[in-house]
A = this chain, B = another copy of it.
Amino acid sequence: MIDFQLTEQQTELRDRTVAFVRDELIPLEHTGEPTRVDDEFRRELVALGHAAGLVAPHAPIEWGGLGLDHVSMSEVFIAAGYSLLGPLAMNCFAPDEGNMNLLSKVATREQNERWLRPLVAGEIRSCFAMTEPAPGAGSDPRAMQTTVARDGDEFVVNGTKWLITGADGAGFAIIMAREADDDSGRRATMLLADMDTPGITIEREIATLDRSFPGGHPVVRFDDVRIPATDVLGEPGRGFEYAQVRLAPARLTHCMRWLGAAIRAHDIATAHARERQAFGKTLVDHEGVGFMLADNEIDIQQCRLAIWHTAWLLDQGEAAGRESSMTKVLCSEATDRIVDRCQQVLGGLGFTHETAVGQIATEIRAFRIYDGPSEVHRWSIARQLGRR
């Protein structure tokens, strides 16, 4: 029966998260020029998260998380995203959050004891090594150039990945490589490897527009990296299938976190618009400003409903590929619009780091690109329409 009422537990957890972010994290936010978060600061944040009992809301209880289902995660992640520090303190940022999800579903118990447990606890970070520079796998994973070949009890990986978020300082990587002897482009394998495995090199950092992802987005080279067969994730050749397992939920948590950030920007802009006077009245009383804030309200509402709905589908055990594509397009484009309007409402202030809006505006843009650019999702939705 259609119902939009949060349970008491959901409400309690959300409110606790809201208070945690407001009281403990926002005061720690950097002012002025943003700097990339380093791991020392990240560990301090995680310690606060542990003290608040809010670490890894998405991860299974047995591995140290709160074991929330997707609907329950929704409001918690939105509240976490209200500060760019929230997902760090609660250890539910990308790519680690998606990696935890993937491991908990595919990895062996031994693998999880080794990698998942400390990851959930925030002791280490991880990266997901899939994207490649041209002519490799960008939006089109079938173009993957990195190969893996079996050699006895080992798998040997060769190739170059880039824009590997979090790689610098990560404890381990989930590596995606296509089978060297497969020409179909359909067989890829996922492997787990500590980042200090011989042959793994961080070739260089790539300067990007964001600051909030610890470990940056480097180029990572794999030169004859030898990985024991026991460290293959799941079964060889099923990598694309596992990528799908990871993808829809990971996409959705991005939507949640960025919606939180957009709401933050909206609150800042609204407060400004209620205060600042121009041309004889308060900004918010200018329709040109008020309409922008009204559109923000509509967009925020829509993002929330779409997130809830897709989360609910996932909780029903559905793949929700189509819905998560639609929600990803909607949320990435709507939150970008929201923050853009906030900058405009703030005027000159919107182009500074005097408020959190400056950094949010800079960082949120990329969400229209990663986890599938809008164009790839639209194409995928259209293709399904064409086939039905």
Contacts and interface: CB of A to CB of B under 8 A. Distances in A.
A189 B174 CA distance: 63
A379 B294 contact: yes
Given A306-B302, A344-B369, A368-B344, A386 B282 contact: yes
A386 B323 CA distance: 33
B282 A143 contact: no
A19 interface: no
- Count chain B CB atoms within 10 A of each CB in A347, A351, A354 and give the residue with the most: A351
Interface residues of A, number: 90
Interface string A282-299: 101111111101110110
A289 B381 CA distance: 12
A30 to B, nearest CB: 10
A141 to B, nearest CB: 10
Contacts of A381: 290, 293-294, 297-298
Interface in A301-335: 301-302, 305-306, 308-309, 312-313, 322-323, 326, 329-330
Give how many copies assemble into the complex. Answer: 4
Contacts of A386: 273-274, 282, 284-285, 290
A330 B302 contact: yes
Interface string A1-34: 1111111000000000000000000000000110
30 contacts: A1-B6, A2-B5, A4-B309, A33-B207, A140-B277, A143-B277, A143-B278, A206-B352, A206-B353, A208-B351, A209-B352, A273-B386, A284-B382, A284-B386, A286-B375, A287-B291, A287-B382, A288-B379, A290-B378, A291-B375, A291-B378, A295-B378, A298-B326, A298-B329, A301-B309, A344-B368, A347-B369, A348-B370, A351-B366, A362-B362
Interface of A: 1-7, 32-33, 71, 131, 134-135, 138-140, 142-143, 162-163, 206-210, 217, 270, 273-279, 282, 284-291, 293-295, 297-298, 301-302, 305-306, 308-309, 312-313, 322-323, 326, 329-330, 340, 343-344, 347-348, 350-354, 358, 361-362, 365-366, 368-370, 373-375, 377-379, 381-383, 385-386
